Structure 1
Amino acid sequence: MTAAATKPSVFDAGLPTLSYDVTDTPQQIYPQFRAAQRIAPIALGPIGPEVLSYEMARTVLRDPRFVIPPGIHLSAHGITSGPLWDRVTRSILNMEGDEHRRLRSLVSRAFTPRATARMHDAIHLVVNELLDAIQDTGRCEFVAEVARPYPIPIICALLGAPREDWQLFSRWAEDIFKIVSFDCDLAEEEPVVLKAWAEFDDYIDGMIADRRRHLSDDLLSDLIRIEDGGDRLDAAELRMLAFSVLVAGTDTTRSQLAASVQVLCEHPDQWALLRADSDLAMRTVEETMRHSPSMCSTVRSVTADVEVGEYTFPAGTFILVNTYAANRDHTVYDDPTRFDITREDPPPILTFGGGVHHCLGANLARLELAEALKILSHRFRYARRTGPVPWKPLLGLSGPTSLPLEFGP
């Protein structure tokens, strides 16, 4: 630690220790988080310091000195260079500094309320088609039959791809998502990932060429239209942004929709409230993402000693911003373990991140979830789970891997 640091290092401050396994689910670990929160805003976890308090988590997420470690998922597989490393670390999801600020400034102009609102009809079409397929059976495996196929046709509609090509997008997504999975040997799967990514890029290149001749009413056309003082997005940036939309908007929506439906099933009074009042749909999204998020944490690192509150994070430290715990901070949320879609003016959830890395597609994600939950509650008077609901681990993208349901019209 440098001489300039005046606060104790997080490693020497007597902080509580978390002793969970990296394969444990959020529900398994939560009692440890709750106990540690009552002692300090930070605890020492298996991969490093974990920020647990709402206020400190919000501070760290907004502080540009805390950066996203480049290629962290690849590093976990031992990949630290090469073509896959170059592609991943050059995406907007991994960028920092001036280049990141420039791209966000341009791209944010395409994620307007109007652009989000025009997805309404596509969302309703896809949700209702998925529910039509299970309506008469009275039961389904929700993850496989509804949540998993839901986002890809929406992303096709968002970008302006023909609806019939959603299966192509789905196949590419399955292969490309190996970069954020711990269920495969990524070094062995790298050629598969690169092949799918190249095919996706070729497809987007064709769309870009077509849109440059005939602009339309879709996100890709909006991105092409954007200009700021003569600055425009080039073809490589447009390809990269289309890839980022696919990666950031698919598994996150799948997992959160399943998690939201599970917690509503376990609180039938809340399901009934939503069914009776569709205006509660957005509040339901916020509360399910606070209480039962599929994205439970995000990783940051520091390249120099950084003081926050009463502590110093030494240079080189990897920090887990534990938004799962922060969204249940008892000093900020009244009775934080209570699931209540009628909470009045709760503090904003931290699940979408913060600062320069706040999710650009947050409003679209909220709309996708709100409309899906609204339609579900209207079409089905009740939904009950009929078996166990295993979850993926806390670290990475969590959420149910299976959700067997029965429902009534």
Structure 2
Amino acid sequence: MTAATKPSVFDAGLPVLDYDITATPQDIYPQFRAAQQQAPIALGPVGPEVLSYELARTVLRDPRFGIPPGIHLSAHGITSGPLWDRVTRSILNMEGAEHRRLRGLVSTAFTPRGTARMDPTIHTVVNELVDRVAGQGRCEFVADIARPYPIPVICALLGAPRDDWQRFSRWAEDIFKIVSFDCDLAAEEPVILRAWAEFDDYIDEMIAHRRDHLTDDLLSELIRAEDDGDRLDAGELRMLAFSVLIAGTDTTRSQLAASMQVLCDHLEQWELLRDQPDLAMRAVEETMRHSPSMCSTVRSALDDVTIGEYMFPAGTFIIVNTYAANRDPAIYDDPARFDITRDEPPPILTFGGGAHYCLGANLARRELAEALKILAHRMPHPRRVGPVPWKPLLGMSGPTSLPIEFG
């Protein structure tokens, strides 16, 4: 059979996933596991879902699959206008030569060595958050620790003073409505645009000051960035600062809460991490494999694309189900087992792949690993003391609350 005659994914007799789009990853996992035994792809409620590790990695790396522009906005019926223009012009939605150019200029600022300078800020922020609840021996982890954690780190990363952390937090709360499914986005658009404009004005002032007084922060690194005489202009610097804020806040919040939950549920692993803090980075990888807050990413076929035994018609909306792929039994031994001592497991797909591999992956890993080290030391014997509801699989998942006692 030639590539041209491969069956469309819609006509290939693939297994069907029957779940509500509000269902959590844990609710749907038995369906994913059953479907994986039949085929590497299944037909889900919004389109084909790639379930196998190898096929998911292939799709993520294949330039014939692109990110649908403004996907969160179009889900709310917004397909044009000032908010649409701003969102779709960010690096998070770019493709092609311009995307490659910006990534090339920015990537040097996100090396492991570059992100290591954030350790003092990370330690200060996490310890201050734990200090507030340590005497009580209990907390609502999402509200007390995970939610307030990332903004101060991002502010310090950009070089904003501590006095302005609350301003960033307010802007972030309004701007994050872009990726929320819980609000009337059209009605909230003026609020979002106002917060975004205030954030841009603030960053413009920082850029003007940094051009004459470069320091040891991300914004200065981006100003220094150069490739054969090519530099970032003010608009690009402003857009990249926004992208750091939008991509690095809710993801870290949600994953820290998800990681804390699975470690609470496997107390022997928590004790292992406490006694061997060098396992922190492996704990991050395993929690993001086993219990990720980002469970999927979306792509669309830019043309008719044939991979293996299947053809994806042009325009097909595809869910790359990294939650299922990271638990592929063909790749991971006993994939449902949670074990932070797994010996050299294959790389997780939670950060994506190919041209859109997460630029901030090193920073995210660092933030999570350093936070877990401190929490394991300062919160002995954590245990859940109430229900832990999760957000749906599609979009940003993770616990919405996590009541714990410790000590």
Q: TM-score, normalised by structure 2?
A: 0.99
Look up the match of 1:88: 87
Conserved 8 A contact 2:3-2:306: no
Look up the match of 2:177: 178
Alignment of 1:257-406 (within 5 A): 257-406=256-405
Which letter maps to 1:207?
M
| Structure 1 position 5, deviation (Å) | 2.3
Which letter maps to 1:251?
D
Look up the match of 1:53: 52
Indicate how the Cα distance of structure 1 residues 169 and 52 shifts in structure 2: closer, same or farther if over 3 A, else same. same
Look up the match of 1:24: 23
Deviations 1:120-170 (A, max 9, x none): 100000000000000000100000000000000000000000011111000
Give 3-state SS (helix, strand or coil) of 1:301's partner. strand
Quote the Cα distance in structure 1 between the aligned partners of 2:125 and 2:36.
Answer: 41
Question: Which segment is superposed worse, 52-61 or 108-117?
Answer: 108-117
Look up the match of 1:109: 108
Alignment of 1:101-180 (within 5 A): 101-180=100-179
Give 3-state SS (helix, strand or coil) of 2:10's partner. coil
Quote the Cα distance in structure 1 between the aligned partners of 2:3 and 2:381.
Answer: 60
Conserved 8 A contact 2:295-2:323: yes
Quote the Cα distance in structure 1 between the aligned partners of 2:239 and 2:287.
Answer: 31
Deviations 1:173-223 (A, max 9, x none): 000000000000000000000000000000000000000010000000000
Give 5+ residue unaligned stretches, structure 1: none
| Structure 1 position 303, deviation (Å) | 2.1
Look up the match of 1:237: 236
Quote the Cα distance in structure 2 between the aligned partners of 1:128 and 1:5.
Answer: 59
Look up the match of 1:9: 8
| Structure 1 position 374, deviation (Å) | 0.7
| Structure 1 position 113, deviation (Å) | 2.4
| Structure 1 position 366, deviation (Å) | 0.3
| Structure 1 position 110, deviation (Å) | 1.4
Which letter maps to 2:333?
D
Conserved 8 A contact 1:5-1:305: no
Quote the Cα distance in structure 2 between the aligned partners of 1:381 and 1:215.
Answer: 42
Conserved 8 A contact 1:305-1:314: yes
Moved >3 Å (runs of 4+)? none
Which letter maps to 2:166?
Q
Give 3-state SS (helix, strand or coil) of 1:18's partner. coil
Quote the Cα distance in structure 2 between the aligned partners of 1:392 and 1:371.
Answer: 25
| Structure 1 position 109, deviation (Å) | 1.6
Conserved 8 A contact 2:285-2:348: yes
Quote the Cα distance in structure 2 between the aligned partners of 1:54 and 1:88.
Answer: 30
Quote the Cα distance in structure 2 between the aligned partners of 1:94 and 1:5.
Answer: 30
Deviations 1:343-367 (A, max 9, x none): 0000000000000000011011001
Give 3-state SS (helix, strand or coil) of 2:91's partner. coil
Quote the Cα distance in structure 1 between the aligned partners of 2:301 and 2:34.
Answer: 27
Quote the Cα distance in structure 2 between the aligned partners of 1:316 and 1:365.
Answer: 32
Quote the Cα distance in structure 1 between the aligned partners of 2:272 and 2:184.
Answer: 45
Look up the match of 2:35: 36
Give 3-state SS (helix, strand or coil) of 1:245's partner. helix
Alignment of 1:208-219 (within 5 A): 208-219=207-218
CA RMSD of aligned residues (A): 0.8
Identity over aligned residues, as a percent?
A: 82
Question: Which segment is superposed worse, 323-332 or 112-121?
Answer: 112-121
Conserved 8 A contact 2:386-2:402: yes
Give 3-state SS (helix, strand or coil) of 1:209's partner. helix
Quote the Cα distance in structure 2 between the aligned partners of 1:399 and 1:109.
Answer: 30
Indicate how the Cα distance of structure 1 residues 390 and 11 shifts in structure 2: closer, same or farther if over 3 A, else same. same
Look up the match of 2:251: 252
| Structure 1 position 309, deviation (Å) | 1.2
Which letter maps to 2:219?
L
Quote the Cα distance in structure 2 between the aligned partners of 1:380 and 1:99.
Answer: 46
Alignment of 1:63-102 (within 5 A): 63-102=62-101
| Structure 1 position 4, deviation (Å) | 6.9
Quote the Cα distance in structure 2 between the aligned partners of 1:112 and 1:32.
Answer: 38
Quote the Cα distance in structure 2 between the aligned partners of 1:185 and 1:11.
Answer: 33
Conserved 8 A contact 1:297-1:322: yes
Quote the Cα distance in structure 2 between the aligned partners of 1:285 and 1:113.
Answer: 15
Which letter maps to 2:119?
H
Give 3-state SS (helix, strand or coil) of 1:110's partner. helix
How many residues are treated as equivalent by the alignment?
406
Give 3-state SS (helix, strand or coil) of 1:319's partner. strand
Give 3-state SS (helix, strand or coil) of 1:165's partner. helix
Give 5+ residue unaligned stretches, structure 2: none
Which letter maps to 1:79?
I
Conserved 8 A contact 2:281-2:365: yes
| Structure 1 position 6, deviation (Å) | 2.4
